[in-house]
Protein backbone atom coordinates (compact mmCIF):
# COMPACT_ATOMS: atom_id res chain seq x y z
CA UNK A 1 0.00 0.00 0.00
CA UNK A 2 1.57 3.33 -0.99
CA UNK A 3 2.46 5.70 1.82
CA UNK A 4 0.51 8.94 1.94
CA UNK A 5 2.20 11.78 3.87
CA UNK A 6 0.39 12.91 7.00
CA UNK A 7 0.20 16.15 8.91
CA UNK A 8 0.96 14.59 12.32
CA UNK A 9 3.89 16.18 14.11
CA UNK A 10 4.43 13.27 16.51
CA UNK A 11 4.23 9.48 16.02
CA UNK A 12 0.94 7.70 16.52
CA UNK A 13 1.36 5.38 19.54
CA UNK A 14 -0.82 2.29 19.35
CA UNK A 15 -1.23 -0.41 21.99
CA UNK A 16 -2.04 -4.05 21.20
CA UNK A 17 -2.93 -6.13 24.25
CA UNK A 18 -4.74 -9.35 25.07
CA UNK A 19 -4.07 -12.63 26.81
CA UNK A 20 -0.92 -14.69 26.42
CA UNK A 21 -0.82 -16.18 22.89
CA UNK A 22 -4.04 -14.42 21.92
CA UNK A 23 -2.57 -13.51 18.54
CA UNK A 24 -1.18 -10.04 19.33
CA UNK A 25 2.09 -10.55 17.47
CA UNK A 26 0.28 -11.79 14.38
CA UNK A 27 -1.90 -8.68 14.42
CA UNK A 28 1.15 -6.41 14.74
CA UNK A 29 3.04 -8.23 11.98
CA UNK A 30 0.04 -8.01 9.66
CA UNK A 31 -0.33 -4.28 10.28
CA UNK A 32 3.36 -3.77 9.51
CA UNK A 33 3.10 -5.87 6.33
CA UNK A 34 0.02 -3.94 5.17
CA UNK A 35 1.28 -0.44 6.00
CA UNK A 36 5.01 -0.97 5.54
CA UNK A 37 8.01 -1.11 7.88
CA UNK A 38 9.00 2.36 6.67
CA UNK A 39 5.86 3.63 8.40
CA UNK A 40 5.55 1.33 11.45
CA UNK A 41 7.93 0.45 14.29
CA UNK A 42 7.04 -2.00 17.06
CA UNK A 43 8.13 -2.64 20.63
CA UNK A 44 7.23 -5.55 22.89
CA UNK A 45 6.62 -4.95 26.58
CA UNK A 46 8.13 -8.42 27.14
CA UNK A 47 11.54 -7.02 26.18
CA UNK A 48 11.51 -5.01 29.40
CA UNK A 49 11.36 -7.88 31.89
CA UNK A 50 13.69 -6.99 34.74
CA UNK A 51 17.12 -8.59 34.53
CA UNK A 52 17.27 -11.47 37.02
CA UNK A 53 20.75 -12.74 36.24
CA UNK A 54 21.70 -12.26 39.91
CA UNK A 55 19.26 -15.05 40.86
CA UNK A 56 19.76 -18.77 40.46
CA UNK A 57 17.97 -20.58 37.63
CA UNK A 58 15.57 -22.11 40.16
CA UNK A 59 14.79 -18.73 41.68
CA UNK A 60 14.27 -17.16 38.25
CA UNK A 61 11.85 -19.92 37.27
CA UNK A 62 9.77 -19.22 40.38
CA UNK A 63 9.21 -15.50 39.62
CA UNK A 64 5.71 -14.37 38.69
CA UNK A 65 6.18 -12.99 35.18
CA UNK A 66 2.48 -12.22 34.83
CA UNK A 67 2.54 -9.28 37.24
CA UNK A 68 3.27 -5.68 36.14
CA UNK A 69 6.05 -5.45 38.74
CA UNK A 70 8.06 -8.02 36.77
CA UNK A 71 8.76 -5.44 34.06
CA UNK A 72 10.89 -2.30 33.95
CA UNK A 73 8.06 -0.16 32.68
CA UNK A 74 9.72 3.14 33.60
CA UNK A 75 12.46 2.41 31.05
CA UNK A 76 9.79 1.61 28.47
CA UNK A 77 7.98 4.90 29.05
CA UNK A 78 11.31 6.72 28.63
CA UNK A 79 11.85 4.93 25.31
CA UNK A 80 8.34 5.70 24.08
CA UNK A 81 8.87 9.35 24.96
CA UNK A 82 12.15 9.34 23.01
CA UNK A 83 10.47 7.83 19.95
CA UNK A 84 7.68 10.37 20.22
CA UNK A 85 10.32 13.11 20.06
CA UNK A 86 11.96 11.59 16.99
CA UNK A 87 14.84 9.87 18.77
CA UNK A 88 15.79 6.15 18.52
CA UNK A 89 15.44 3.79 21.48
CA UNK A 90 17.86 1.04 22.52
CA UNK A 91 15.38 -1.67 23.47
CA UNK A 92 16.58 -4.48 25.77
CA UNK A 93 16.93 -8.01 24.42
CA UNK A 94 15.49 -10.63 26.77
CA UNK A 95 16.34 -14.34 26.86
CA UNK A 96 13.10 -16.10 27.74
CA UNK A 97 14.72 -19.52 28.03
CA UNK A 98 17.04 -18.35 30.84
CA UNK A 99 14.97 -15.42 32.19
CA UNK A 100 17.83 -12.93 31.81
CA UNK A 101 18.43 -9.72 29.88
CA UNK A 102 21.26 -9.87 27.36
CA UNK A 103 24.00 -7.26 27.13
CA UNK A 104 23.01 -6.44 23.54
CA UNK A 105 20.19 -4.05 22.70
CA UNK A 106 18.03 -3.60 19.60
CA UNK A 107 17.78 -0.08 18.21
CA UNK A 108 14.27 0.97 17.24
CA UNK A 109 14.01 3.95 14.96
CA UNK A 110 11.14 6.45 15.23
CA UNK A 111 8.38 5.99 12.69
CA UNK A 112 5.03 7.66 12.03
CA UNK A 113 3.41 4.74 13.86
CA UNK A 114 4.86 3.02 16.93
CA UNK A 115 3.05 -0.12 18.11
CA UNK A 116 3.46 -1.30 21.70
CA UNK A 117 2.53 -4.94 22.24
CA UNK A 118 2.08 -6.72 25.57
CA UNK A 119 -0.33 -8.50 27.85
CA UNK A 120 0.06 -6.00 30.70
CA UNK A 121 0.25 -2.64 28.95
CA UNK A 122 -3.31 -1.63 29.90
CA UNK A 123 -2.69 -2.56 33.54
CA UNK A 124 -0.26 0.38 33.83
CA UNK A 125 -1.91 3.81 33.88
CA UNK A 126 1.25 5.58 32.68
CA UNK A 127 1.35 3.42 29.55
CA UNK A 128 -2.36 3.77 28.84
CA UNK A 129 -2.04 7.54 29.03
CA UNK A 130 0.68 7.58 26.35
CA UNK A 131 -1.33 5.62 23.78
CA UNK A 132 -3.35 7.28 21.02
CA UNK A 133 -5.18 4.04 20.16
CA UNK A 134 -5.73 0.91 22.23
CA UNK A 135 -6.52 -2.46 20.65
CA UNK A 136 -7.48 -5.58 22.61
CA UNK A 137 -7.21 -9.05 21.02
CA UNK A 138 -9.78 -11.40 22.55
CA UNK A 139 -9.26 -15.15 22.09
CA UNK A 140 -10.79 -18.21 23.79
CA UNK A 141 -8.61 -19.51 26.66
CA UNK A 142 -8.45 -23.02 25.16
CA UNK A 143 -6.85 -21.63 22.00
CA UNK A 144 -4.42 -19.46 23.99
CA UNK A 145 -3.29 -22.38 26.14
CA UNK A 146 -2.76 -24.65 23.12
CA UNK A 147 -0.69 -21.95 21.41
CA UNK A 148 1.35 -21.33 24.56
CA UNK A 149 2.14 -25.01 24.97
CA UNK A 150 3.33 -25.22 21.39
CA UNK A 151 5.42 -22.04 21.61
CA UNK A 152 7.08 -22.62 24.98
CA UNK A 153 8.02 -26.24 24.25
CA UNK A 154 9.30 -25.54 20.72
CA UNK A 155 10.91 -22.11 21.22
CA UNK A 156 11.77 -21.79 24.90
CA UNK A 157 12.88 -25.30 25.85
CA UNK A 158 10.14 -25.87 28.41
CA UNK A 159 8.44 -29.13 29.26
CA UNK A 160 4.69 -29.57 28.91
CA UNK A 161 4.47 -30.05 32.68
CA UNK A 162 6.31 -26.79 33.44
CA UNK A 163 4.16 -24.83 30.97
CA UNK A 164 0.95 -26.15 32.51
CA UNK A 165 2.24 -25.51 36.04
CA UNK A 166 3.11 -21.90 35.19
CA UNK A 167 -0.20 -21.41 33.40
CA UNK A 168 -2.20 -22.52 36.43
CA UNK A 169 0.02 -20.78 39.01
CA UNK A 170 0.46 -17.35 37.41
CA UNK A 171 -0.60 -17.00 33.77
CA UNK A 172 -4.32 -17.57 34.22
CA UNK A 173 -4.56 -15.76 37.61
CA UNK A 174 -2.61 -12.85 36.09
CA UNK A 175 -4.92 -12.81 33.09
CA UNK A 176 -7.98 -12.58 35.31
CA UNK A 177 -6.47 -9.92 37.59
CA UNK A 178 -4.53 -7.70 35.16
CA UNK A 179 -5.06 -8.55 31.50
CA UNK A 180 -8.77 -9.18 30.98
CA UNK A 181 -9.83 -6.00 32.87
CA UNK A 182 -7.73 -4.03 30.39
CA UNK A 183 -10.32 -4.77 27.73
CA UNK A 184 -12.45 -1.95 29.11
CA UNK A 185 -9.74 0.57 28.18
CA UNK A 186 -9.63 -0.57 24.54
CA UNK A 187 -10.87 1.61 21.72
CA UNK A 188 -11.48 -1.48 19.62
CA UNK A 189 -11.69 -5.21 20.36
CA UNK A 190 -10.82 -7.78 17.70
CA UNK A 191 -10.94 -11.53 17.34
CA UNK A 192 -7.63 -13.36 17.81
CA UNK A 193 -8.60 -16.47 15.87
CA UNK A 194 -6.80 -17.38 12.66
CA UNK A 195 -9.56 -16.04 10.38
CA UNK A 196 -9.53 -12.44 11.63
CA UNK A 197 -8.63 -10.73 8.37
CA UNK A 198 -11.74 -8.57 8.43
CA UNK A 199 -11.00 -7.38 11.97
CA UNK A 200 -7.43 -6.47 11.06
CA UNK A 201 -8.62 -4.60 7.96
CA UNK A 202 -10.99 -2.63 10.20
CA UNK A 203 -8.10 -1.75 12.54
CA UNK A 204 -5.93 -0.62 9.64
CA UNK A 205 -8.73 1.61 8.39
CA UNK A 206 -9.00 3.17 11.86
CA UNK A 207 -5.24 3.78 11.93
CA UNK A 208 -5.38 5.46 8.55
CA UNK A 209 -8.20 7.68 9.78
CA UNK A 210 -6.07 8.74 12.75
CA UNK A 211 -3.18 9.49 10.41
CA UNK A 212 -5.43 11.52 8.16
CA UNK A 213 -4.83 9.22 5.19
CA UNK A 214 -7.54 8.56 2.57
Average pLDDT over the chain, rounded to an integer: 92
The whole-number pLDDT of residue 193 equals 80
Question: Is residue 1 pLDDT above 70, yes or no?
Answer: no
Superfamily holding 12-208: P-loop containing nucleotide triphosphate hydrolases (3.40.50.300)
- Give this prediction's pTM: 0.90
Model confidence band, residue 8 (pLDDT cutoffs 50, 70, 90): low
Cα 148 to Cα 40, 44, 50, 86, 104: the distances in Å are 27, 17, 21, 35, 26
Distance CA 34, CA 173 (A): 35
Distance CA 134, CA 182 (A): 10
Mean pLDDT of 64-89: 96
Model confidence band, residue 197 (pLDDT cutoffs 50, 70, 90): confident
Q: Which has more confidence, 171 or 157?
A: 171
Question: Is residue 196 pLDDT above 90, yes or no?
Answer: no
| Domains in the chain: boundaries | 12-208
Amino acid sequence: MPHTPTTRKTPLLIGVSGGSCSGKTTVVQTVIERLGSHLVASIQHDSYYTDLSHLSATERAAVNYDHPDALETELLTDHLAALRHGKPADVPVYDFARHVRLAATAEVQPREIVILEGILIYAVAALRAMLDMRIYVRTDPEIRLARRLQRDVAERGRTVESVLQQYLASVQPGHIRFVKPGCKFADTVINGADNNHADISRVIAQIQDLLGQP
